[in-house]
Amino acid sequence: MITQFLFNGVDRRAGFVLALLVGIAVLVPVLHLALPPDSPLHVPNYAMALFGKYLCYALLALSLDLVWGYCGILSLGHGAFFALGGYAMGMYLMRQIGPRGVYGDPVLPDFMVFLNYKELPWFWYGFDMAWFAAIMVVLVPGLLAFVFGWFAFRSRVTGVYLSIITQAMTYALLLAFFRNDMGLGGNNGLTDFKDILGFSVQAPGTRAALFAATALALALCFWICSAVVRSKLGKVLVAVRDAESRTRFIGYRVEHYKLFVWVLSAMMAGVAGALYVPQVGIINPSEFEPANSIEAVIWVAVGGRGTLFGPIVGAVLVNFGKTWFTAAMPEVWLFALGALFVVVTLFLPKGIVGTVQGLWRERAERRAAGLPPVLPNPEPKPAE
Amino acid sequence: MTQARAFLAHLLVLAALGAALLLVAVAVSRAETDLKPLVDALGGKDFARTEAAISALAATGDPRVADILRDLENRDLYVRKDDGSVVRSDAKGATPEVFDPATGASLGTVPKAVLDKISVNNRIRRSVAAAVGTLTLLNPDPAKRRAAADAVLKTRDPATIPALDAAIAAETDDGVRLRLEAARGAAVLNSDAPAADKLVAIEAVQRLDAREALSVLQQYAGADDEVGAAAKAAIDEVNLTLVFWDAAKNVWFGLSLGSVLLLAAIGLAITFGVMGVINMAHGEMVMIGAYVTFAVQEVIRTSMPGLFDYSLLIALPLAFLVAGAVGVAIERGVIRFLYGRPLETLLATWGLSLILQQLIRSIFGAQNRQVGNPSWMSGSFEVGLMQVTWSRLWIVVFALCVFFALMAVLKKTPFGLQTRAVTANRPMASAMGIRTPWIDAMTFGLGSGIAGIAGVALSQIENVSPNLGQGYIIDSFMVVVFGGVGNLWGTLVGALTLGVANKFLEPYAGAVLGKILVLVFIILFIQKRPRGLFALKGRAIEA
């Protein structure tokens, strides 16, 4: 049944995106590892690390698009799920350091020795095992999303109210994780990682594998999202987005649909965070900043919400722009980002992919109807 | 018969009075003449003798004794080795001049080697303080009497009781008498007086400030008799007062925080309530107001320093106009194209907030800017056991003024009427001939302008930096959402409740955890009442 569900999720366009992502997952590591550094096609280390980061952001954007683009829930706190997934991974990586820390304690991470912890806090148990950490990466964000969504959707908190309390949620977590007595590294966070699954995180092979894993995870999540939105469930989600009350009156349990897609999205964001941490080498509370979550929203808006390919394009493009701007002219970056928010909401409400798709579809329909193609920038007709 | 007895009594009283007068006269004359041997006794070989001499001097009641004892404390008294007398000198040079301590008359110069400084330890200092205290208990200046009573209170010396009794009888100032009685009480507690006296003494001590009373009483609470029990009961009572004042302090700090939240949120309440517009750039309006204050103060500092005390009054209208103008520009330029799309408005205004922040950073620099307090806003005063700073008090007053002014604008002016009409039913208001786009622009301008004057107030207690507004945006939203949209009273109640709740949680949970708890509480509260405390009643299914 699940395979059926997944296979129904792939049409020609989704298949193309999946092939592209798998291609990237294979090609980039190969170009990085197999070609000599002086070859023009060689992918240097920093570029692969950078694009690995972009792909993590793309996965976060994809998860956000699933709730915002298809269900109308604008989350300003998806960064929280991303960071929780990242912390779960970070805790695993901390436990892998073992006695190689600065203080050489076989069990306790450095910051705990520094803060005079006598023994491991209970919530650190199990994180020395990769499978446990992997479960936690999806379970912790999923659980938070479930509890939060259960209360919020049941009492019909919608629209901007929901957006604001998601923001309050990530803000509260930001404050909590900044505390040293949380037992999660305080404002320094978790860093100084050594090994992942027995391989050094610095080794080129591991980095290439992490990149491939990120691209494949993105492909898998894309596939799942595609299957969800093309199923009957997906149709109900769109109905909720466009006319929530009407959908409820027809007899659908709106909050169940919302809760399902909300938790699924949070889990994907958690996976994105978990893949982000070993590639960046640090996780700290600033990932919970409300500003980060809002920035993720603009990736989706730029790429095109309500299309699954859009957020991927948006996340890569905006972050590429950010990298370029902050290096070339840092003082202009915030102007550019701010202008992007304004311009996209005013002039490109469907985003890049959505707009292109719209034009494409219009052209195809016109051709089918035997009409001439629309000239670019037609003069407005006077009102009659 | 009775007459004869009365006469006899009168005679006796007169005789007693006469005798007393005579005694006093003798005492005074003796003091004038016999101070010298007592002063010379100060130069005793050990501290015990010096202390005894201090007591003897204090017992004379001579007004000059206080000065002599102060000299002793300042280590200006020396023993002349040649004749054993005590003299005052600064001991400067090879042959310093020496003076008589009592009269101050010069006694010529002596070689420095002859002088031997009278050493002083803490015990001596204490007895000097007590002696000077008892001596100044009858000083004509009430402030000095009060200080003297406090000095005696610290010593708890039973020997001071008679002096205190005399002082209490002569005292005219109630505040000073209270402290005198407390000092007497402390001394009685320290003496071997009967338990009944001590019980009275505890009551006297208890009338002191709570903390002072506690420090006196704690020493006697351990005793296993009725005095100990009474002391314990008194301590409990005093602790209750302390708890009360702690609570009062929390309420005050909470109100102060709440009024800051109110200032930050009230403009938001208007734009959000009237237009349903989430203005994420609201915090930046606050920041602009703070920077206007900074600019005004800079101009005043450089060109007319005399006006510095009026800088805030000048900045208020300017901040309102500047922030209001920016608000109107935002509404006309961006927001009006996005009506009916609240989520997009949220994103666009967030973008605007980034632009405004960077703009201010480019103009004024990223570092914190110093905004000075005018003289009438600096300093503090005490109410009971808590300190109230003037700046906080003015901000509370100011926040309430702004609130009620805004209330008046909305309730009493035609503009307010139209605004409320648009809030209640936009299509209907439009059909009745109200220019809703104009009302939108003006309302947005008003909300932003109020954020601007909030910035003037916040510049007094916060660092003025480009990030000033960001710290308030989430809190302001919480206030508005908690209080209920479209109702200013809700904003007032919401702001003050959250402020007080925050401050009450802080001692138990710490500042950060307290804030987290408040956020979690609001998140849960919205589940229960999704439209806030004071929700507007309506028939719409969804906003």
pLDDT, tens digit, 9 for 90 and up, residues A101-148: 888 788 888 888 888 888 888 889 888 889 999 999 999 999 999 999
Delineate the domains of chain A, giving CATH numbers in brackets: 2-368 (1.10.3470)
Do B403 and B266 touch, CB atoms closer than 8 A?
Answer: yes
- Closest partner CB to A155 (pick from B353, B354, B528): B528
* Alpha-carbon separation of residue A23 from A216, A266, B106 (angstroms): 9, 26, 107
Weakest mean pLDDT among B18-22, B207-211, B409-413: B18-22
For residues B409 and B445, give the distance between their C-alpha atoms in angstroms, rounded to a whole number. 14
- Closest partner CB to B337 (pick from A157, A168, A346): A346
In a 3-state reduction of DSSP, which class is residue A345? helix
Q: Is the pLDDT of residue B540 over 60?
A: no
Number of inter-chain CB pairs under 8 A, A vs B: 129
- Radius of gyration (C-alpha) of chain B in whole angstroms: 36
User: Could you tell me the pTM of the whole model?
Assistant: 0.77
pLDDT, tens digit, 9 for 90 and up, residues B30-41: 445 567 777 777
**Where would I find the beta strands (DSSP E) of B189-314?**
none
In a 3-state reduction of DSSP, which class is residue A73? coil
**Where would I find the beta strands (DSSP E) of A270-355?**
282-283
For residues B406 and B266, give the distance between their C-alpha atoms in angstroms, rounded to a whole number. 9
Using a CB–CB cutoff of 8 Å, tell me whether B330 touches chain A: no
Q: How many Å lie between the alpha carbon of A326 and the closest alpha carbon of chain B?
A: 13
Averaged over B515-528, what is the pLDDT? 82
Weakest mean pLDDT among A144-148, A256-260, B330-334, B374-378: B374-378
Nearest residue in chain A measured CA to CA from B338: A346
Contact assignment for A345 to B474 by CB distance below 8 Å:
no
Among the listed residues B533, B526, B445, the one whose alpha carbon sits nearest the alpha carbon of residue B490: B533
Nearest residue in chain B measured CA to CA from A72: B343
* Alpha-carbon separation of residue B93 from B100, B109, B117, B462 (angstroms): 19, 10, 15, 55
Among the listed residues B278, B288, B320, the one whose alpha carbon sits nearest the alpha carbon of residue B406: B320
Residue with tokens 């298949």: A15
Among the listed residues A171, A290, A220, the one whose alpha carbon sits nearest the alpha carbon of residue A9: A220
With pLDDT > 90 as the criterion, what percentage of chain B qualifies?
Answer: 17
For residues B318 and B292, give the distance between their C-alpha atoms in angstroms, rounded to a whole number. 7
Contact assignment for B474 to A167 by CB distance below 8 Å:
yes
Do B39 and B57 touch, CB atoms closer than 8 A?
Answer: yes
Do B289 and B267 touch, CB atoms closer than 8 A?
Answer: no
Weakest mean pLDDT among A45-59, A343-357, B171-185: B171-185
pLDDT, tens digit, 9 for 90 and up, residues A23-58: 999 888 888 888 888 888 888 888 888 999 999 999
Q: Is the pLDDT of residue B541 over 50?
A: no
The model's confidence at residue A75, banded by pLDDT at 50, 70 and 90, is very high
Do B175 and B184 touch, CB atoms closer than 8 A?
Answer: no
The model's confidence at residue B42, banded by pLDDT at 50, 70 and 90, is confident
Q: How many Å lie between the alpha carbon of A315 and the closest alpha carbon of chain B?
A: 16
For residues B254 and B364, give the distance between their C-alpha atoms in angstroms, rounded to a whole number. 33
Long-range contacts of B374-381 (CB under 8 A, 24+ apart): B374/B308, B374/B309, B374/B310, B374/B311, B374/B312, B375/B309, B376/B309, B377/B312, B377/B460
* Helices vs. strands in chain A: H and E counts, helices first: 15, 4
Q: State ipTM.
A: 0.85
Residue with tokens 């980095």: A207
pLDDT, tens digit, 9 for 90 and up, residues A292-321: 999 999 999 999 988 999 999 999 999 999
Using a CB–CB cutoff of 8 Å, tell me whether B459 touches chain A: no
Q: Is the pLDDT of residue B539 over 70?
A: no
Do B386 and B245 touch, CB atoms closer than 8 A?
Answer: yes
The model's confidence at residue B542, banded by pLDDT at 50, 70 and 90, is very low
Tokens coding A242:
């466009």
In this prediction, residue B3 carries a pLDDT of: 59
Do B311 and B293 touch, CB atoms closer than 8 A?
Answer: yes
Q: Is A194 exposed, middle or buried (0-12, 13-18, 19+ CB in 10 A)?
A: middle
Contacts with A159 from chain B: Cβ below 8 Å: 342-343, 542-543
Contact assignment for A168 to B350 by CB distance below 8 Å:
no
With pLDDT > 70 as the criterion, what percentage of chain B qualifies?
Answer: 90
Q: Is the pLDDT of residue B325 over 70?
A: yes
Do A87 and A193 touch, CB atoms closer than 8 A?
Answer: no
With pLDDT > 70 as the criterion, what percentage of chain A qualifies?
Answer: 96
In a 3-state reduction of DSSP, which class is residue B274? helix
Q: Is B9 exposed, middle or buried (0-12, 13-18, 19+ CB in 10 A)?
A: exposed
Do A190 and A90 touch, CB atoms closer than 8 A?
Answer: yes
For residues B58 and B55, give the distance between their C-alpha atoms in angstroms, rounded to a whole number. 5
More confident residue, B85 or B360: B360
Q: How many Å lie between the alpha carbon of A341 and the closest alpha carbon of chain B?
A: 5
